[in-house]
Chain A
Amino acid sequence: GEDVEQSLFLSVREGDSSVINCTYTDSSSTYLYWYKQEPGAGLQLLTYIFSNMDMKQDQRLTVLLNKKDKHLSLRIADTQTGDSAIYFCAERGGATNKLIFGTGTLLAVQP
């Protein structure tokens, strides 16, 4: 079945780079996503990558996709305290076409 796994917690110092990792099982995934959830709020799409791409960069964000290993990562450069949030990895199943989410990774940025 479809499954998405990510670590529950990551702590970094302000100004450092953060790397949040995710693995998934569906080799036929079409899109992979990173959503951000700030305290007391719903999830908001941060960025996405189509499955035929290896990398996508958007300002401080870099998404890397390794299809062979079914591994997705999100790198945030120059992490700020405002980046503290829960980051959800999700994949869109090729067969089911539905979004499968991970547990979310709580990113704590220390000043």
Chain B
Amino acid sequence: ETGVTQTPRHLVMGMTNKKSLKCEQHLGHNAMYWYKQSAKKPLELMFVYSLEERVENNSVPSRFSPECPNSSHLFLHLHTLQPEDSALYLCASSQDGWNLANTGELFFGEGSRLTVL
């Protein structure tokens, strides 16, 4: 199993649909993240979970709803999205997410390419 696995790799949905992105990490990490990657924009941190508790929510619209049932799994529930939400959504994990003693390396999945029609 690769370190961080995301499904689906590609998703096309209409604005009225409800779908979910899934992320699973096999690295024994205790922090997980959702990032949004759009062309010509900085990689945007959306949500952070540390020890299954949400510790960061960067003013993300409520049409994006994260869920972290345990330290290995992270979901991003999507509903009534807009075309401008089309992007690559990247999941990442790290160990001791907020500990200054380590280098803070993030391990990324391959991403879910979302297209909203």
Chain A bound to chain B: yes
**A interface, CB within 8 angstroms of B:** 4, 8, 30-31, 33, 35, 40-45, 48, 88, 90, 92, 97-104
Q: Are B41 and A103 in contact (CB under 8 A)?
A: yes
Q: Are A42 and B110 in contact (CB under 8 A)?
A: yes
Chain A binding surface SS class = strand
Q: Give the total of B residues in contact with A, Cβ under 8 Å.
A: 23
With a cutoff of 8 Å between Cβ atoms, the chain A residues found around residue B92 in the complex are 42-43
A-B contact pairs, 7 of them (CB 8 A): A30-B104, A43-B92, A45-B105, A48-B105, A90-B43, A98-B45, A103-B43
Interface residues of B in 69-108 (CB under 8 A from A): 90, 92, 98, 100, 103-108
B66 interface hit (Cβ, 8 Å): no
Q: Are A101 and B42 in contact (CB under 8 A)?
A: yes
CA distance A4 to B28 in the complex (A): 30
A40 and B110 contact, Cβ closer than 8 Å, known pairs A4-B42, A101-B42, A104-B43? yes
User: What distance in Å separates the Cβ of A5 from its nearest Cβ neighbour in chain B?
Assistant: 8
CA distance A93 to B78 in the complex (A): 29
